[in-house]
Structure 1
């Protein structure tokens, strides 16, 4: 736990590697690529928000009070059982989720534009070669390590992230691919889990950002104390006593420019209206400032700001 009277508690920092940055308590980055899709706000049940493709074959659910914060699935028809499912726990940075939602938005747009292929790549057959799903990682120097028979594990150079592929499971809905980052623990291990029929290119798109060296912006209190020795934190703005004001230095100006660029890249709004809404958001709610070391800390997470356009379901 961070001391509540720490003057640097809300100081913005650039966190690297990104996969150890934890969640910032909101789903903005993950929902930004599909901000133009219908939103359905639910008053009851564990799922608080569902964003769907216009034909409702792709569903992106936000479970703000659960350990598994995101559940994303795709089906051949709106009322059919999911062909595949991906879940992300509350520790996973939303920037990782955004890579999957970006790929889904592109696949759906391509299918919608092609009158001869209404299914789209988001329902493509999974590759028989495990390497296709993790190629962005192996190309970046992640190496295969010894694993149990019937499984494949590829691990980052720092040993703090990896992907485990389990080919021993035979069911079509079995969870066969797990992207992970951070030490084992409720507040430190990020996990993204994909079922057997998830298209390989979607897993690869999600994994690709984990090989990216670009940092992400967090406030200091959002980094679990158990992770601080594993990450590089670069203060954004003044590094002296935050209660003493001073004129910005050239370094401050450069850091601010980097922060703004990272924010734009992470949130990637589709329209000017989206940008205005995101800029108007308040910082992480006070309820997200601390997470107990228990299975229930996801309650601090909150859904993204609603779009200014009329939304479905509310």
Structure 2
């Protein structure tokens, strides 16, 4: 028997949400945006019930935690030293929007691009203002609420400092250690500069005179479908990578060909 589409379900009520711009001032958001994607990408979840989020990469070289129960709290990403680079870490304030944090954490699940990373390229594409300030190089968003800064420490090490704040001082900051892989910092800057608004439920929109909001009605099944699409994409990418590793061709014996002539088929 052929089924017909019956809509979103009987009696489903739309809920009020808001699109928030700029995204840097949208507040932290739902941590599951990150954790569910990592879980679908094969990461281990070591979180304890009612405690901080704690996740570990499949190869056990990277750990991600989110702790909202301490001050200042927020995100910590720690990478172990390996044959390609030194130990590194990133610290992001608890009000860093999950969509921007995901720029970094999603990139941890993908192979590194062969192209040389350029942290400034995504910012310049969105018309951020760049300038030298002594030994610092800073990019600022067109509305002045967000920034990305590079400077060298006393020992010559490169430090990255970034964040977003409104005129009342509400916002967040983040920093990356000198040895943080540049392709991860670029992935973060791309989401920081992304001009698209992000969505927050009613009651979760920060009070700020420097954000714009648009009210939208969203059904729970729509939200679930959007979230599931992100998870499905993560699973598909993980499956493709694992399949590529396990399906490398085996070396097989070459057929014998007599010297001086080609084989003929009978």
- Same-fold call, TM > 0.5? yes
1:111-130 correspondence to structure 2 within 5 Å:
121=112
SS at match of 2:108: helix
Correspondence 1:101 to 2:105: yes
SS at match of 2:138: strand
Counterpart for residue 84 of structure 1: 88
With over 3 angstroms needed to count, the CA separation of the structure-2 counterparts of 1:200 and 1:180, relative to structure 1, is: same
Aligned-residue CA RMSD (Å): 3.4
Counterpart for residue 22 of structure 2: 17
With over 3 angstroms needed to count, the CA separation of the structure-2 counterparts of 1:233 and 1:34, relative to structure 1, is: same
Aligned equivalent of 1:48, options 52, 73, 88? 52
Counterpart for residue 39 of structure 1: 45
State how far apart, in whole Å, the 2-side matches of 1:132 and 1:156 are. 17
- CA displacement at 1:75 relative to structure 2: 1.1
SS at match of 1:41: coil
Task: Select the structure that is richer in helix.
Answer: 1
Q: Residues 241-287 of structure 1, C-alpha deviation per residue, up to 9 Å, x if partnerless?
A: xxxxxxxxxxxxxxx49x948982798213799xxxxxxxxxxxxxx
1:123-272 correspondence to structure 2 within 5 Å:
132-147=118-133, 149-170=134-155, 176-183=159-166, 188-225=170-207, 227=208, 229-237=209-217, 256=218, 260=222, 264=226, 268-270=230-232
State how far apart, in whole Å, the 2-side matches of 1:213 and 1:267 are. 22
With over 3 angstroms needed to count, the CA separation of the structure-2 counterparts of 1:166 and 1:271, relative to structure 1, is: closer
With over 3 angstroms needed to count, the CA separation of the structure-2 counterparts of 1:165 and 1:57, relative to structure 1, is: same
State how far apart, in whole Å, the 1-side matches of 2:123 and 2:26 are. 18
State how far apart, in whole Å, the 2-side matches of 1:91 and 1:215 are. 16
With over 3 angstroms needed to count, the CA separation of the structure-2 counterparts of 1:150 and 1:15, relative to structure 1, is: same
- CA displacement at 1:223 relative to structure 2: 2.5
- CA displacement at 1:184 relative to structure 2: 6.9
Aligned residues: 214
Query: Contact 1:69/1:87 (CA < 8 Å) preserved in 2?
Result: yes
Task: Select the structure that is richer in strand.
Answer: 2
Query: Contact 1:165/1:177 (CA < 8 Å) preserved in 2?
Result: yes
- CA displacement at 1:106 relative to structure 2: 0.5
State how far apart, in whole Å, the 1-side matches of 2:28 and 2:175 are. 16
Bigger radius of gyration: 2
Correspondence 1:29 to 2:33: yes
State how far apart, in whole Å, the 2-side matches of 1:97 and 1:30 are. 8
